[in-house]
Amino acid sequence: MTEAIFDSTRALNPAQLEAVQHIEGPLLIVAGPGSGKTRVITHRIAHLNQIGVYPSQIAAVTFTNRAAREMRNRLERLMGEKSKYLKAGTFHSFSAMILRRDGEAIGIPQDFVIMDDDDQLNLIKQSMEITQIDPKRFQPRAILSTISSSKSKLLGPEALSNAASGYFEEIVSRVYTEYQKLLMQNHGLDFDDLLSRTVELLKNSDEIRDKYQQRYQYLMVDEFQDTNTSQYQISREITKSHRNLAVVGDPDQSIYSWRNADITNILSFQKDYPETKIIHLSQNYRSTGNILEAAKNVIRPNQKRIDHELFTDNPEGELVFITEAYTEEEEATGALTEVQRLIEEEGFNLRDCVITYRVNAQSRALEEACIRYGIPYKLVGGVRFYQRKEIKDLLAYLRLLQDPYDEISLERIINVPSRAIGKRTFDELISWSRNLEIPPYTALQLINDQSSTLQMPFNNRQQKQLCEFITLLNNLKDLANELELAELIDAVMDQTGYKKNLLQSDEPDAEDRLDNIREIRGLATDFNGLVSKESLPSFIENATLVSEQDSLEENEQQYLTLITLHQIKGLEYPVVFMIGMEEGLIPHARSMDDPDQIEEERRLAYVGITRAQSRLYLLRSIRRRMYGMTSPAIGSRFLRDIPLQLIQTPRMARSSKAHAIKIENVVEMPRNEEIAYPFKAGDKVSHASFGEGIVVNCSERPGDFEITVAFVGNVGIKRLLNSYAKLVKSAANDVT
């Protein structure tokens, strides 16, 4: 094994080798796209082991289960059996492990339940009902988002209230307080709690912090540009005594501020660790020279970045294709026609190609075109496996068997399949249990206790149904102590009547739903050899923490991938089509008033471009129908950053409705100098009825001008005639 590691390191370039061989103290690896960062991380871990560091003293954390799985697979090839003793996973799984072991020190039960998105929203709605907040006036999801943002910044309800800048934050802090109470009552933690409570534990207990500092002598963090405050604090606390923190990332690929990622973590890393060793991985192994040059020119105008000059030894390859279509339907047709040509004439296959876009609404035209042409496709971000009803129902049963005090799961399945326990009965059960100050599960046991003399609010029929339900639950809990997990799933499906219900169903997807149950049962066989009581926590935790990209599993089926720019990060394809390269889409209309957001939109375009290995197509429409409205569109400002010598007119134009255009029209977007346009894209304006907004486009109309404006709030995008709109330019437009 030592010889294998030595041989493999000889294939590293000088910068990669320097990073692998850096041992002590903080290390910042600035890793450009396609520069082999995963190879560096895994080889550095193997090298640490080679020089005498025990695998159990090494931890590596990343952001998706997919990335963690790839890392573990590579480490197994490098280290063999030793790789099983190191910790490689996501921040959330790493934190969950710490809290399961030591969370009781801050009042977290060992059998806590991780609440998924639906559970969290349900609790928010309950909290709003308790605090008498009208959900029609304040959207529950907006409140949940604000709470999530606060937790990622380590702000509790009181701190949020103290920092409140308006009435909405005051409302959120009230809901936040009740939300946390309900989480505690359900023995639950949400995703943000996994991180923030771990920070709390490590900061408040010297003994526990010291234990993990001793255990993990070397910590590596991948995708460091995507960390939030909580994740950075966990990293700092774990490495505070030895400072052996190695972070890998690229500020040019920071695109998740809306998930509370903080780019300043990587930009300011050297300030926090003055002795940091900085190593640049600048050689790109993925893209052709022309694609890489296009990407470099797109990202260069950004200010918030660590300057590093990427290069590649790959051939220059094809020039970048830029074209426009009249409508989004023609745009989709043009892309698919070119996909077909690439397959028929150049030997590519469907899985070599991806079409990516800024917002989910753009997939409609693509999906319709795929169906029309008979092209199989995979829409990443559709209904995910673990979000399907039958899977969530089964997991709710299993969660209830793990923790009978989980009120969210109880509410979900108490009448699934239907057993005549309606909402009114459940509400009466909850109300009665709260009056008695006991959990609903305990209340159900009292109802089933024949010797109980308590006055109950249920009629005979209700009491009979509730008794049958708790008897069923008790039987399944007993089986959890005897059966393996796959057998327990069979018992749940059979004894609850769920399987029978699907077998007798007339619904067209009933067989697919049964197949999904079979699929998750297959996953449960990984835990064979353990009784369900022992394996349930890990199984449920894995299911809850599955990420969006985990749906992209390798299989033999050929399909065209349709995916958003945010979801494509971390992936690569021989052929990339980026559609909707227009002002208002990328950069998005909501970003135009914020320089920081414009920089993030530029990074998003850069991420999309750098996914391409050999072919890159950038498409736009002259007019686009979005959200039921057709509007004129102009090319994205990011297209202007690509030098003319890197661009060619696409061949797709000859075989589709999409048409080639003069490249200078896309890149320079000249205007007729004789026409004095009243507004230009990016102008800040105000309207008497619609309020403030940003001009997206200004086009000539007979005797008038049509102004397309993205207004703030719920107003959205409006097309207005200049002579009637009476738009007023903001004074901020004149500030230079």
Annotation marks residue 402 as catalytic: no
- The CA–CA distances, whole Å, from 301 to 255, 305, 664 equal 16, 10, 20
Instruction: Give every CB contact of residue 50 below 8 A, 6+ residues apart in sequence.
Output: 2, 5
CB distance 417 to 494 below 8 Å: no
Contacts 24+ apart (CB under 8 A), 433-440: 439/185, 439/404, 439/405, 439/407, 440/407, 440/410
CB distance 625 to 327 below 8 Å: yes
| E strand or H helix at 219 | strand 218-221
Annotation marks residue 37 as catalytic: yes
Q: Which of 9, 21, 38, 649 does the annotation list as catalytic?
A: 38
Tell whether the torsion through CA atoms of 477, 478, 480 and 486 is positive or negative.
Answer: negative
| Interhelix angle 328-346/363-373, nearest 10 degrees | 50
107 DSSP assignment:
T
Q: Which of 253, 288, 312, 613 does the annotation list as catalytic?
A: 253
The Cβ of residue 90 has, within 10 Å, a number of other Cβ atoms equal to: 20
Closest Cα partner for 118 from 498, 546, 544?
544
Closest Cα partner for 358 from 596, 621, 697, 144?
621
Closest Cα partner for 77 from 37, 110, 39?
39
Residue type, 315: P
- Expressed in angstroms, the distance from the first to the final Cα of the chain is 62
Q: Which of 102, 178, 222, 683 does the annotation list as catalytic?
A: 222
Residue type, 573: Y
The first and second tokens of residue 618, run together, are 């950038």
Annotation marks residue 550 as catalytic: no
Q: Which of 16, 37, 90, 549 does the annotation list as catalytic?
A: 37
Tell whether the torsion through CA atoms of 725, 730, 731 and 736 is positive or negative.
Answer: negative
Count of positions (residues) in the chain: 736
Instruction: Give every CB contact of residue 548 below 8 A, 6+ residues apart in sequence.
Output: 380, 381, 384, 567
The first and second tokens of residue 545, run together, are 């923490």
DSSP letter for each residue of 431-448: HHHHHHTS-HHHHHHHHH
Instruction: Give every CB contact of residue 534 below 8 A, 6+ residues apart in sequence.
Output: none
Rounded distance, CA 265 to CA 153, Å? 12
Q: Which of 116, 178, 223, 411 does the annotation list as catalytic?
A: 223
Annotation marks residue 223 as catalytic: yes
Structure-token match 């010797």, residue found: 451
Using DSSP bridges, classify how beta strands 320-325 and 647-648 pair: parallel, antiparallel or unpaired.
parallel
Annotation marks residue 726 as catalytic: no
Q: Which of 399, 611, 684, 718 does the annotation list as catalytic?
A: 611
| E strand or H helix at 392 | helix 389-402
| E strand or H helix at 540 | helix 532-544
* Residue 379 phi, psi dihedral angles, 5° rounding: -90, 100
Structure-token match 């399961």, residue found: 100
Instruction: Give every CB contact of residue 55 below 8 A, 6+ residues apart in sequence.
Output: 45, 49, 79, 82, 83, 84, 85, 86
Annotation marks residue 513 as catalytic: no
Q: In what order do the strands lie in the sheet with 87-90?
A: 87-90, 58-62, 218-221, 245-249, 27-31, 277-281
Rounded distance, CA 66 to CA 63, Å? 9
How is the chain split among helix, strand and coil, in percent rounded to 5? 55, 15, 30
Q: Catalogue the active-site residues.
A: 37-38, 222-223, 253, 611
